[in-house]
Structure 1
Amino acid sequence: MDTATPNAVALQDATVAFRVADGRVYTAVEKANLTVAHGEFVAIVGPTGCGKSTLLNVAAGLLKPAGGAVRIFDKPLSGLNRDAGYLFQADALFPWKTAIDNVAIGLEIRGTPPDEALKRAQTWLTSVGLGAFANRYPHMLSGGQRKRVGLAQVLIRDPKILLMDEPFGPLDAQTRQIMGNLLLELWSADRKAVLFVTHDLEEAIALADRVVIMSAGPGARIIGDWRVSLPRPRDISEIRMEKDFHALHKEIWSVLKDEVMKGYAQSTQAGAA
């Protein structure tokens, strides 16, 4: 981590509020303070509906906070965050384009000549283990393979910041581990700043340098920030066997579980209303 470089992302007392159907204002997130240093991998965990994705959208410039400030590399964010690449939970691939065309399109939009864009796209497909699948369409790929294409699609543009919203959520447990290890391998090559949203505390600890916990909403807050001192490089399946991993998991879960139960109780009451 380069301490001489300004924080890649800095949320300062960020508050996000929405006007709901009856005219009331619903405060989703209240006075959130969060930094992600250059080259740092930060995971956000919290109950369903607590505003994790909302904070990610604020960092992406897709949502403007009702209060507070957002700074990207020490500059106020206005409009879309052009320094960030966003990997969503749902596939963002064009079904009528092949894998290589899906990866190349980000460069072509920027004016890169098609031949060069395709050449670089092939290199990225190879780096994610799909070099032989360049001419397949999304429906011909497995869920894990589509995620690999999506990852290449984001990384080919060389963003300084990766914003990841439960990107491996729909995958089975084994494929999630494979994708997690692939992400760590690619991240280790140039250490981009990463803000990673997940429901899975084990995944967060296995991947991240820091794990940030949010409270149940409304008015969700950041209530915990733990540094993960587990050594790198990491293999996700192996690191979960370490004594220090279990100790940290127990410590964080002692705080998180109460918020998860609050969130569950609120969703149950809302469903009965």
Structure 2
Amino acid sequence: MSVARAAPPAPHPALAIEGVTCSFASAHEKGAVYTAVRDVHFTVGTGEFVSIVGPTGSGKSTILNVIAGLLAPSAGRAVVFGEDLHGINPHAGYMFQADALMPWKSALDNVAAGLEFRGVPRAEARERARPWLARVGLDRFGERFPHQLSGGMRKRVALAQTLIVDPKIILMDEPFSALDVQTRQLMENELLDLWSADRKSVVFITHDLEEAIALSDRVLVLSAGPGARLIGEYRIDIDRPRDVADIRMTPRFLDLHREIWSQLRDEVLKGYAQTKLQ
């Protein structure tokens, strides 16, 4: 007689945000409390690329800071690979909107810095940084300083700086927003090429709905703040690999953009009205 075997337990997602609420003392009214996000739930699977869109003031960066462990939520929790997050997330690498390069260090030394902070000897860190500069197309620019690099080149250094420490989760807060359209599309394709090589989990914040659709497996939509909530979740069923410029003209891309924008538009208008009242 055969004995049925229990199915193996399902693997934990890379990230689970469970009922997260973040409240702060109001900057405009003494004694009042401002709630940035309220009761937010979502997961990010291992190797999944998820973008979060929403109007200005919807708490996108607040959520990213909770995932990074830079901000403790007022309620709810962040769970990383099945364990509650307390303090800095050791599995995450964070790429900021503004340049976070050290101006007194060369491109090579900026990329190596993360390894040095983790105790790797400087000479070894520099040697390990060289192939990363090559992967982002900057192998001939390692000794240049940030002020000697274009905006797109600085973003490539920052991307290599984030990836060299091999994070399992990559957090990106509007990393390409300051770039011109052509350079931005080049950087988006560069990111997809690097991501497809080892499929890290990515949480990507952007105001640009086209960028979110072009890059992502799923797009999450936040309502206008205060008290922003997750109000939409869309699976991006466009085949990979993708060229972010080419797919923008495909019928499925246009359908997805129309569908998501129909929900996001009202929230953007609400967010704009809120800023006029402040």
- Fold shared per TM-score above 0.5: yes
* Alignment partner, residue 165 of structure 2: 157
Residue identity in the other structure for 2:151:
G
Alignment of 1:124-135 (within 5 A): 124-135=132-143
Residue identity in the other structure for 2:85:
L
* Alignment partner, residue 36 of structure 2: 28
Residue identity in the other structure for 1:155:
L
- Which residue among 209, 214, 217 is the counterpart of 1:206? 214
Shift of 1:115: 2.0
Q: Decide which structure has the larger Cα Rg and report it.
A: 2
Identity %: 62
Deviates more, 1:102-111 or 1:25-34: 102-111
RMSD in angstroms over aligned alpha carbons?
1.0
- Distance between the aligned counterparts of 1:88 and 1:195, measured in 2? 12
Shift of 1:268: 1.1
Alignment of 1:193-232 (within 5 A): 193-232=201-240
* Alignment partner, residue 16 of structure 1: 22
- Which residue among 27, 37, 41 is the counterpart of 2:49? 41
Deviates more, 1:4-13 or 1:117-126: 4-13
What's the secondary structure of 1:108's corresponding residue?
Answer: helix
2:87 matched to 1:79?
Answer: yes
2:261 matched to 1:253?
Answer: yes
- Which residue among 13, 19, 30 is the counterpart of 1:7? 13
TM-score (norm 2): 0.95
- Which residue among 80, 99, 102 is the counterpart of 2:107? 99
Query: Following superposition, which runs of at least 4 residues in structure 1 exceed 6 angstroms of deviation?
Result: none
Shift of 1:4: 4.8
Q: Kindly tell me the number of residue pairs found equivalent between the two proteins.
A: 268
- Distance between the aligned counterparts of 1:4 and 1:67, measured in 2? 26
What's the secondary structure of 1:240's corresponding residue?
Answer: helix
- Distance between the aligned counterparts of 2:248 and 2:82, measured in 1? 35
Unaligned runs of 5+ residues in structure 1 are none
Shift of 1:69: 1.2
- Distance between the aligned counterparts of 1:49 and 1:177, measured in 2? 26
- Distance between the aligned counterparts of 1:5 and 1:138, measured in 2? 41
Residue identity in the other structure for 1:84:
A
- Distance between the aligned counterparts of 2:276 and 2:117, measured in 1? 45
2:242 matched to 1:241?
Answer: no
TM-score (norm 1): 0.97
CA contact (8 A) 1:164 1:194 kept: yes
- Distance between the aligned counterparts of 2:255 and 2:64, measured in 1? 28
What's the secondary structure of 1:122's corresponding residue?
Answer: helix
- Distance between the aligned counterparts of 1:46 and 1:93, measured in 2? 27
